[in-house]
């Protein structure tokens, strides 16, 4: 069996992350094998390393959910890709490695004009935002969209995607620097939540109407506050609970405003559903990337030997955008 190098996480401490040798995967039916150029760092990677986000039983235990690289082998039944094509992809796991097997439907062509590093920063955030905000919450042109943690990788993508689709975007961030970064990406208004109450500001900015769609990864006290600043028939989607998922909430406003509360995780969704997301992204979002109306937000790009540094940067919450690692010799 052929071997490869990958990043092992033997302990919860980021400093324990290390390059080791192991078996190279083989593409199963419907999969392609990709030789990696770069991979992205995401919050779920940190949570998995900490033991708080175990991978699905059928997924690789190796960290990593997004990558860019070259197709080097095809599994049985794959016809939409050819060996030698450059792709970026949403992996079910295993992207912190020299090679990764990925369902063919979860791969996308590298958008014209993008580097491999930039392409590796796209899949996880684009898939997440598209499925939650546009497919599930049905955000429409002309509506008001509130996204929390606007300077994060998810937030950076959500601001740009919603703005490019003709929506008014309001976001929250923890500093004036991050707020300006969000405005530069296309947010109509960015609220420094350390100083201002985002509920009151959102109501003021919308003549007390509120936001039509809210994307939240904070949870905790934000749950009731999101309900308070949602518009009538608003849709609220939670994709994480950094401040906790156990909350005491008055649900009467949900009834009175006919709100929809939802939540989802991307990783356990079926291969068919992820392939559907990929198809819609290629049709709706990839042209906007190639037209530079949406730009990748790579804040940090390091050789993969410095993975511990990248994880520490992610945990510090100081990045403006995404961290990407290059698979170097």
Three-class DSSP labels, the chain: CCEEEEEECCCCCHHHCEEEEEECCCCCCCEEEEEEEEEEECHHHHHHHCCCCCCCCCCCCCCCCEEEEEEEEECCCCCCCCCCCEEEEECCCCCCECEEEEEHHHEEECCCCCCHHHHHCCHHHHHHHHHHHHHHCCCCCCCEEEECCCCCHHHHHHHHHHHHCCCEEEEEECCHHHHHHHHHHCCCEEEECCCCCHHHHHHHHCCCCCEEEEEECCCCCHHHHHHHCEEEEEEEEECCCCCCCCCCCCCHHHHHCCCEEEECCCCCCCHHHHHHHHHHHHHHCHHHHHCCCCCCCEEEEEEHHHHHHHHHHHHHCCCCCEEEEECCC
Q: Quick check: 303 pLDDT over 80?
A: yes
Phi, psi (deg, nearest 5) at residue 154: -60, -45
Model confidence pLDDT, tens digit, residues 54-81: 898 889 999 999 999 999 999 999 999 9
Q: How many CB atoms lie within 10 A of CB 248?
A: 7
Q: In this predicted structure, what is the pLDDT of residue 259?
A: 98
Please check whether residue 157 is in contact with residue 129, taking contact to mean a CB–CB distance below 8 angstroms. yes
Q: Quick check: 123 pLDDT over 70?
A: yes
State both tokens at 328.
């170097």
Instruction: Please compute the mean of the pLDDT values over residues 223-238 and round it to a whole number.
Output: 98
Model confidence pLDDT, tens digit, residues 164-184: 999 999 999 999 999 999 999
> By C-alpha distance, which of 260, 324, 308 is closest to 123?
324
Please check whether residue 226 is in contact with residue 216, taking contact to mean a CB–CB distance below 8 angstroms. yes
pTM score of the predicted model: 0.96
Fold that domain 3-122+267-326 belongs to in CATH = Quinone Oxidoreductase; Chain A, domain 1 (3.90.180)
Q: Tell me: domain 126-263, CATH 3.40.50.720, correct?
A: yes
Instruction: Please compute the mean of the pLDDT values over residues 23-50 and round it to a whole number.
Output: 97
Model confidence pLDDT, tens digit, residues 245-286: 999 999 999 999 999 999 988 998 999 999 999 999 999 999
Instruction: Please compute the mean of the pLDDT values over residues 98-106 and round it to a whole number.
Output: 98
Cα gap 164→174, rounded to integer Å: 24
Scan for tokens 């709706």, then name that residue: 284
Q: In this predicted structure, what is the pLDDT of residue 1?
A: 65
> By C-alpha distance, which of 56, 52, 57, 45 is closest to 97?
45
State both tokens at 35.
């030789």
In the chain, where the domains are located: 3-122+267-326, 126-263
Instruction: Please compute the mean of the pLDDT values over residues 47-53 and round it to a whole number.
Output: 94
């Amino acid at each position: 069996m052929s071997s490869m190098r990958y990043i092992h996480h033997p302990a919860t401490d980021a400093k324990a992350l290390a390059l080791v040798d192991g078996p190279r995967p083989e593409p199963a039916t419907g999969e392609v094998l990709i030789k990696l150029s770069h991979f992205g760092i995401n919050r779920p990677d940190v949570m998995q390393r900490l033991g708080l986000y175990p991978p699905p039983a059928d997924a690789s235990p190796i960290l990593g959910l997004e990558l860019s690289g070259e197709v080097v082998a095809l599994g049985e039944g794959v016809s939409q890709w050819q060996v030698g094509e450059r792709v970026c992809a949403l992996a079910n796991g295993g992207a912190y490695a020299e090679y990764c097997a990925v369902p063919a439907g979860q791969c996308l062509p590298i958008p014209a004009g993008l580097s491999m590093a930039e392409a590796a920063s796209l899949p996880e955030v684009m898939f997440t935002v598209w499925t939650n905000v546009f497919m599930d919450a049905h955000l429409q042109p002309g509506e008001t969209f509130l996204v929390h943690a606007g300077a994060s990788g998810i937030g950076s993508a959500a601001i740009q995607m919603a703005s490019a689709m003709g929506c008014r975007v309001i976001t929250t961030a923890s500093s004036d620097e991050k707020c300006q970064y969000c405005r530069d990406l296309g947010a109509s208004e960015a609220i420094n939540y350390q100083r201002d109450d985002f509920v009151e500001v959102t109501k003021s900015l919308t003549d007390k109407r509120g936001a039509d769609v809210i994307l939240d990864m904070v949870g905790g006290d934000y749950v009731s506050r999101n309900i308070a600043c949602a518009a009538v028939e608003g849709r609220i989607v939670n994709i994480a609970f950094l401040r906790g998922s156990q909350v005491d909430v008055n649900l009467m406003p949900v009834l009175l405003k006919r709100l929809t509360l939802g939540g989802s995780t991307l990783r356990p969704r079926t291969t068919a559903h992820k392939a559907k997301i990929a198809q819609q992204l290629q049709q709706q979002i990839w042209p906007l990337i190639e037209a530079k109306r949406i730009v990748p937000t790579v804040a940090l790009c390091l050789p993969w030997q410095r993975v511990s540094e990248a994880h520490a940067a992610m945990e510090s919450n100081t990045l403006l955008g995404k961290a990407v690692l290059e698979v170097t010799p």
